């Protein structure tokens, strides 16, 4: 395969380009008997949809899911679930001005070099619009994880540019288009984003994701570690440049007596390890944090080259998110859901007969 499929047992295949007729996905390996409707998926797609506020791209897409297979009388059959999301609002002409130039920080240069072909319309396959497939696949995974194991997966926007947003409550995170977990930060956020948009520039962001209810024992040692698969999945999201599990980079300055989470009969005392030890889940919350770089398509002129390797300048005036991180929360949640579901299935394949020894309270 060439990068368009991921997962070992819960397997997601994706196709589609930003300015083609549709994106499509195939989920293979979902257990049979899961009650699943288009609405179950649609509600997650709606969380990631463009146009939810003035701070994100104004491209008008309903992002309507069309399920083509794998469901019979409202339940999964165990066979491949195929689905489409049509593109409805392509404006390829937006790209005519930059069709021969490369955007600094964008994938159009590397795609062109790798494949020898350039689809200049909206980033082609490199467009972050592909994440619609991830969110759909994640919606199925999170439903199964919730019903079968009681796992819940939630995320929030933890920082936008220089602006850190503390965690106050999950209710807050659900209540606004920023996924900010402290609603009192919203005025500051709005102001920051308005100024950013006016400046024609873009900014980075940090998103945190947490899975609660993951049983102890998921993950495979050595190369198939749960955290290794999470790191790979997160880094595969457009614009992600860093991944942390638990204490992450803060662990560098910690001592062992501080970092190592003590245990009592009632559970772990802390969670520096982010719910994973030796690549296997501990039963605590799995905590992940990701860094997203600033959008590369900005209105500020930048030095670049064209397809003839001639020096030139570029300004990008299409409809772009000034901060891709604002819409990344549902995507990161979805990727975590897919990895956890994959490992749930892998674990019961090998260890389905293990009688769990005494567990913590």
Site for a copy of itself in 75-104 (CB under 8 A): 75, 77-82, 84, 102-104
Choice from 45, 47, 48, 70 touching a copy of itself (CB under 8 A): 70
Decide: is 229 part of the binding site for a copy of itself (CB under 8 A).
yes
Which residue carries 């500051």 as its tokens? 188
For the bound state, the minimum distance from the C-beta of residue 72 to a copy of itself, rounded and expressed in Å, comes to 4
343/46 Cα distance (integer angstroms) = 27
* Of 259 and 319, CB closest to a copy of itself: 259
- Residue 117 in the binding site for a copy of itself (CB under 8 A): yes
> Three-state DSSP class for 212?
strand
Token look-up 């701070």 returns: 55
- Note whether 264 binds a copy of itself by CB under 8 A: yes
Residues 315 to 334 in contact with a copy of itself, rule: CB under 8 A: 322, 325
Q: CB nearer to a copy of itself: give 51 or 248.
A: 248
Cα 152 to Cα 15, 123, 141, 155, 209: the distances in Å are 28, 33, 11, 10, 11
Decide: is 223 part of the binding site for a copy of itself (CB under 8 A).
Answer: yes
Sheet of 22-28: strand order equals 5-6, 11-15, 22-28, 81-86, 65-67
Q: Is 159 in the site for a copy of itself (CB under 8 A)?
A: yes
Q: Which stretch binds a copy of itself (CB under 8 A): 40-48, 172-180, 181-189, 254-262?
A: 254-262
Does 241 sit near a copy of itself (CB under 8 A)?
Answer: yes
CB 54, min distance to a copy of itself, A: 18
Q: Residues binding a copy of itself: what is the number (CB under 8 A)?
A: 164
Residue 23's contacts (CB-CB under 8 Å, 6 or more residues apart) are 14, 15, 16, 84, 85, 87, 129, 130, 132, 133
Q: Which two tokens stand for residue 231?
A: 């790191």
DSSP label at residue 180: B
How far apart (Å, rounded) are the C-alpha atoms in residues 313 and 320? 19
Instruction: Name the minimum Å distance from CB 349 to a copy of itself.
Output: 4
Between the alpha carbon of residue 340 and those of residues 12, 155, 230, 311, 344, the distances in Å are 13, 15, 8, 46, 6
Q: What is the 3-state secondary structure of 16-45?
A: CCCCCCEEEEEEECCCCCCECCHHHHHHHH
Figure out which of the listed residues 96, 191, 310, 317 binds a copy of itself, where binding follows CB under 8 A.
310
Task: Pick the closer one to a copy of itself by CB: 52 or 126.
Answer: 126
Options 108-116, 168-176, 181-189, 326-334: segment touching a copy of itself (CB under 8 A): 108-116
Task: Assess contact for 98 and 312: CB atoms under 8 A.
Answer: no
Options 42-50, 52-60, 174-182, 299-307: segment touching a copy of itself (CB under 8 A): 299-307
**Residue 206 within binding range of a copy of itself, rule CB under 8 A:** yes
Asked if 6 interacts with a copy of itself (CB under 8 A), we say: yes
By the rule CB under 8 A, 138 interacts with a copy of itself: no
């Amino acid at each position: 395969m060439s990068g368009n499929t991921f997962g070992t047992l819960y397997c997601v295949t994706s196709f589609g380009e930003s300015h083609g007729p549709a994106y499509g996905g195939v989920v293979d390996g979902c257990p049979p008997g899961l009650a699943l409707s288009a609405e179950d998926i649609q509600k997650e797609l709606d969380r990631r949809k463009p146009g939810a506020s003035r701070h994100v791209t104004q491209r008008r897409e309903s992002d309507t899911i069309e399920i083509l297979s794998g469901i019979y009388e409202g339940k999964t059959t165990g066979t491949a679930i195929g689905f489409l999301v049509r593109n409805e609002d392509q404006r390829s002409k937006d790209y005519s001005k930059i069709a021969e130039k490369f955007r600094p920080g964008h994938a159009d240069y590397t795609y062109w070099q790798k494949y020898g072909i350039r689809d200049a319309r909206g980033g082609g396959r490199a467009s972050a619009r592909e994440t619609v497939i991830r969110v759909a696949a994640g919606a199925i995974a999170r439903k199964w994880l919730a019903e079968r194991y009681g796992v819940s997966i939630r995320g929030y926007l933890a920082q936008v540019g220089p602006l850190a947003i503390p965690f106050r409550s999950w209710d807050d995170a659900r209540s606004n288009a920023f996924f900010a977990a402290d609603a009192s930060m919203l005025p500051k956020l709005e102001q920051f984003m308005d100024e950013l948009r006016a400046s024609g520039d873009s900014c980075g962001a940090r998103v945190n994701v947490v899975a609660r209810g993951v049983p102890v024992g998921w993950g495979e040692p050595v190369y198939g570690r749960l955290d290794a698969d999470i790191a790979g999945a997160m880094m595969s999201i457009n614009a992600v440049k860093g991944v942390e599990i638990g204490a992450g980079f803060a662990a560098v300055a910690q001592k062992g007596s501080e970092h190592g989470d003590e245990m009592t009969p009632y559970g772990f005392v802390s969670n520096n390890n982010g719910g994973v030890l030796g690549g296997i889940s501990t039963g605590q919350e799995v905590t992940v944090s990701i860094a997203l770089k600033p959008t590369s398509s900005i209105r500020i002129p930048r030095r670049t080259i064209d397809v003839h390797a001639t020096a030139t300048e570029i300004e990008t005036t299409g409809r772009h998110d000034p901060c891709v991180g604002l819409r990344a929360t549902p995507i990161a949640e979805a990727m975590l859901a897919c990895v956890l579901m994959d490992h749930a299935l892998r674990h019961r394949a090998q260890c389905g007969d293990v009688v769990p020894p005494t567990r913590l309270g």
